[in-house]
Amino acid sequence: MNDSVNILNSAYLAVEYIDSFLPDNPLQQPFKNAWNYMLDNYTKFQIATWGSLIVHEVSYFLLCVPGFIFQFIPYMQKYKIQQDKPETWEKQWKCFKTLLFNHFFIQLPLICGTYYFTEYFNIPYAWEEMPRWYILVGQCFGCAVIEDAWHYFLHRLLHHKRIYKYIHKVHHEFVSPFGMQAEYAHPLETLILGAGFFIGIVVFCNHVVLLWAWVICRLMETIDVHSGYDVPLNPLHLVPFYAGARFHDFHHMNFIGNYASTFTWWDRLFGTDSQFIAYQEKEKKKQCITKK
């Protein structure tokens, strides 16, 4: 334990030292002015509630835009994982309507409790108490690790034959996923799997900005793995042990295995990625035969 603490302290000091040599962020002052303007003109309840709603809605649908546009670009079709199952307007419209219901009738009531959450844990809003960027990055990674563990075990439970058809089957209506479908789910699933999102916040949150940073990170990840496209040079693949779109797309194709949301280690540890590994090996052999 002491060795681990020393390693983390050393890593923190190293990052802090490197940060001292980096040039000032030109966007920092405008962001500071906007943040202080928000604090001066809106109450904490308005910031926590409506700010969180706006961050979620804007981030969600903006992050869905690239995947939505890809379906109209012939060049991008070579990166589509299930090329025999194109997106349809009917499916996308159905998904959009369900999303609006979930966002405003399931998630919005939960978001309304954000202010009381920040008050209970005495989470600050002030600019002066906002953590540095590298601390935010580390906290978001920690939140992802915690959420991933929660998601693996609860997601796997939702696939149990006695439960699956009542809750999780809704999410699997689309065998070939697309980005907007990331939060297409039964209301109970939204609550069950969504609970994992808040555990990391309880553990790490030392400023309201982490709430919003973690929302954006989590949406970026879940929309990417549901995109249906394995695009090269995806910056998310720089994250250690990141699962990616192919990993989760296989889960939608086969309704089994690859239960984790972000990382590969839980599936690897329990062997629930064995079918995916076998599938990848078959695909590689096919590619080798085709090239010959």
pLDDT tens-digit readout, 214-243: 999 999 999 999 999 999 989 999 999 999
Q: How far lies 120's CA from each of 115, 208, 262, in Å?
A: 9, 13, 30
* pLDDT, mean of residues 129-150: 93
CA dist 255 and 228 (Å) reads: 15
* pLDDT, mean of residues 42-55: 96
Q: Which residues contact 139 (CB under 8 A, 6 or more apart)?
A: 131, 200, 204, 205, 206, 210, 213, 214
CA dist 232 and 220 (Å) reads: 16
* pLDDT, mean of residues 124-153: 94
Asked if residues 147 and 197 have their Cβ atoms less than 8 Å apart, the reply is: yes
Question: Which pLDDT value is given to residue 258?
Answer: 96
Asked if residues 245 and 227 have their Cβ atoms less than 8 Å apart, the reply is: yes
Mean pLDDT of the chain: 90
Residue scoring higher pLDDT (242 or 87)? 242
- Summarised one tens digit per residue, pLDDT across range 265-289 is 999 999 999 999 998 888 777 766 6
Element (H, E) at 282: helix 274-291
- Summarised one tens digit per residue, pLDDT across range 141-181 is 999 999 999 999 999 999 999 999 999 999 999 899 999 99
Question: Which pLDDT value is given to residue 5?
Answer: 47
Best CA proximity match to 173, nearest among 94, 279, 260, 264: 94
Q: Which residues contact 103 (CB under 8 A, 6 or more apart)?
A: 56, 57, 60, 183
pTM of the model: 0.90
CA dist 223 and 119 (Å) reads: 31
